[in-house]
């Protein structure tokens, strides 16, 4: 095992509105203070009573997905919590992941694509 599921991230135009929608659906607390995330106009979180955290990331030119239309695919990614970012980096590359963005080595996370091209992030715990 390389890491554990930290949260599921959904792209959207209005992060707070979508967080509040899911709060109505699942309960929980929107933007609970948490050292793992910096909350701002481009990022919101929902800590439901059960299950993983949902996070909402602003996509400037967000175009909602259209079910069954490959030109408008689903827009989400997984955040995987890891203790050692360098070790996890090496291990996911060995599994077949592709590094998409290393943040210049200055962030606590890196962006990868799985073998089918779906993005995910490794986030240092």
Q: What is the CATH number of the domain that holds 55?
A: 3.10.180.10
Q: How many domains does the chain have?
A: 1
Phi, psi of 42 (to 5 degrees): -105, 0
| Residues in a beta bridge with 47 | 29
pLDDT at 94 over 80: yes
Residue 25: the pLDDT is 86
Query: Measured in whole angstroms, how far is the alpha carbon of residue 17 from the centre of its chain?
Result: 17
Domain span including residue 16:
4-66+75-124
Residue 73: the pLDDT is 80
Residue 121: the pLDDT is 92
pLDDT digits (tens, 9 = 90+) for 16-61: 999 999 999 899 999 998 888 778 899 999 999 888 999 999 998 8
């Amino acid at each position: 095992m390389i890491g554990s599921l930290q949260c599921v991230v959904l792209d959207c135009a209005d992060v707070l509105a979508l967080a509040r929608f899911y709060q109505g659906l699942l309960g929980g607390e929107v933007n609970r203070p948490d050292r793992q995330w910096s909350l701002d106009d481009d990022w919101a979180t929902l800590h439901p009573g059960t299950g993983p955290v949902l996070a909402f990331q602003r996509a400037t030119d967000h175009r909602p997905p259209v079910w069954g239309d490959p030109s408008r695919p689903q827009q989400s990614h997984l955040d995987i919590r890891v203790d050692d970012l360098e070790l996890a980096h090496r291990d996911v590359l060995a599994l077949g992941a592709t590094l998409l963005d290393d943040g210049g080595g200055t962030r606590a996370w890196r962006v990868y694509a799985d073998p089918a091209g779906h993005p995910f992030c490794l986030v240092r715990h």
